[in-house]
Amino acid sequence: MMDSTAIEAAFDKVGSESSCWLWKVFLLTALPGFFNAMHMMSYVFFTTIPPHWCKIDELGAAGWTQEQIRNVSSPKGSKNSCFKYDWNYEKFASIGYNETLDLIKVEVKPELIGCQAFEYEESTPKSTIVSEWDLVCDRNHLRSFTQVTIAFGKFFGGFVFGAISDKYGRKTSFALASMLYITAGPLAALVPNFTVFNIVRFTIGMAGSGAYGTCFTIVTEVAVRGYRTLFGCVFNVSYPVGYIVIPMAAYISNDWRQLQLYISIPAMILVMHFCLLPESPRWLLTKGRSGDAWKILEKSGKIDRNIQQNTSAPPTRQEDTERKSCIQRILHSFGEILSLFRSLEIFKRAIICYIAWFSASVTYYAIALNAGNFSANKYIYCALNGVVEAPGYFLSFICLVTFGRKAVSCLLFMITGASLLLILLIPRDFQLAILIMALLGRFCISAVFAVIILQTSELFPTVNRNSAVGTSLTMAQLGAVSAPYVVDFLGGEKYWFLPSTVCGILTICAGILVASLPETKNKPLANTIDDVKNQSEKVSFLSFFKFLCFCW
């Protein structure tokens, strides 16, 4: 029988004598986040809308300049028009520009009709997917869809590669996801049409989620107690590094295809992980492969062989589950999810966590994608998002050590909401003040993620903790899917402040709800639903007002 105390002692020995090995594993596992961030933020540069107007083939063939065509066809000569006057352009082409100007002064202007094709003002033709596939006017919603596909890919990839990871091993799952990542990335730069582009974007999201999720599992299973909280909080630091690097790559790129290659080809470095990244010893032990597990531990530190010889792996619940049919496993999973709604206390906790996760996710991505509504330089704005995000992860670690989960998450949500709502009071010309408020919100909402994942896992009993965390992550993915629509459809020249206002309201509401949750720091974890029912502290909306009084 495997002695769990002996196993933990072996891991602790690794931590005390081979911290360099742990940091090597940490750095290897953090790398996929760097590439994921660049692919997620590529949307900002791929979907820039250049000045556009209706393409008039007759006038273009007659040698008219773009300005001349706009002056005649577009309302007020606009550079951003979805309509054109229904003139007889063949006649205009035959009589020339000057005579046309004289003619339209005396003629009654005809009705406006929609454009069938567009011209764009670009230094490089087809430099964005917008100009290449005419994603403007009545096709504008398709811009946001490109971000939705990668978000859905991440959602689907979490399930697929999570199952592969549990059955065939963390390293196998990572290898498959990485090969798909390395293949799909450059392929996206070669696609012939918009449909194929979105299929490949979905694949990139799926592979990126698989590689990232598997690496997070490895680092949490390898990390010893003294490192687990630290690694869990700073694991995402590779994301802001990606946010800082992609504006540089975009700046030197001539078009979106070149940028796609720049952010995809370096992912080939993940091949070296096949040799350097170890399999999770804990997973090997659950599979009865204690010999392989000890070989990995021996490479990392001085392990007492006497412990190894007295250690064997018993059959595990996971192995028993794998013997069940696929349908039985699916039904079992649905049963665990439904158990979240059978107890009123568990139900209230779940709903609050879902709102918190959705609000945090939609705000996190909406701030990152909102450069256009703030009239900010997209290169500088994207880089600044990365610069302020990294300290947020370290802030969460410091706060979690010092304060309770509820206090930290509530205050971070509140500060995020307040900073975004203050943008309402700032004139649009005061760009520096707007950016400071937006980046303060970004800083706090980044820190929120490290807190609420820990808080969510501690709020639920063992019997449905995994389902609670999993469904909460699903709500986060829904937030990621919603963010581009919030930015593109609510914002605009007239209502530029609306996306940040909506996110501010959401995070304030999330902060109020989170304050009603029971505190979980230094509290024993519940194992059953009855344990939760017997806890003295429960969800109470009066807790928010008590919390405010305490802060005051």
Three-state secondary structure of 395-454: HHHHHHHHCCHHHHHHHHHHHHHHHHHHHHHCCCCCHHHHHHHHHHHHHHHHHHHHHHHH
Q: Please, which residues bridge with residue 84 across strands?
A: 113
The CATH fold assigned to 328-551 is Growth Hormone; Chain: A; (1.20.1250)
Share above pLDDT 90 across residues of the chain, in percent, rounded to a whole number: 28
**1-45+137-300, superfamily in CATH?**
MFS general substrate transporter like domains (1.20.1250.20)
Please state, in angstroms and rounded to a whole number, the distance separating the CA atoms of residues 245 and 221.
30
Tell me if 1-45+137-300 shares its fold with 328-551. yes
pLDDT at 327 over 60: no
Answering whether pTM is above 0.95, one says no
492-523 per-position pLDDT tens digit: 778 888 999 999 999 999 999 998 888 877 77
**pLDDT of residue 184 exceeding 80:** yes
Query: Are the C-beta atoms of 161 and 505 separated by less than 8 Å?
Result: no
Q: Which residues contact 106 (CB under 8 A, 6 or more apart)?
A: none
Q: What is the pLDDT of residue 138?
A: 87
Query: What are the sequence ranges of the domains in the chain?
Result: 1-45+137-300, 52-123, 328-551
Q: Given pLDDT bands bounded at 50, 70 and 90, which one contains residue 300?
A: low
Task: Decide if 303 contacts 10 (C-beta within 8 A).
Answer: yes
Question: What is the pLDDT, as a whole number, of residue 49?
Answer: 87
As a whole number, mean pLDDT of residues 105-133 equals: 85
The predicted-structure confidence for 409-436, as pLDDT tens digits, reads as follows: 999 999 999 999 999 999 888 889 999 9
pLDDT-derived band at 314 (thresholds 50, 70, 90) equals very low
* Rg of the chain on CA atoms, in Å: 27
How far is 540 from 516, CA to CA, in rounded Å?
A: 5
Q: For the chain, give the mean pLDDT.
A: 82
Residue of 41, 44, 47, 31 lying closest to 182 (CA atoms): 31
Q: How far is CA 1 from the centre of its chain?
A: 42
Read off the pLDDT of residues 94-114 as tens digits, 9 standing for 90 and up.
888 888 888 888 888 888 888
Residues 438-463 pLDDT 10s:
999 999 999 998 788 878 877 877 66
pLDDT, one tens digit per residue, over 56-109 is: 888 888 888 888 888 888 887 567 778 888 888 888 888 888 888 888 888 888
pLDDT of residue 337: 62
- How many other C-beta atoms are found inside a 10 Å radius of the C-beta of residue 194? 17
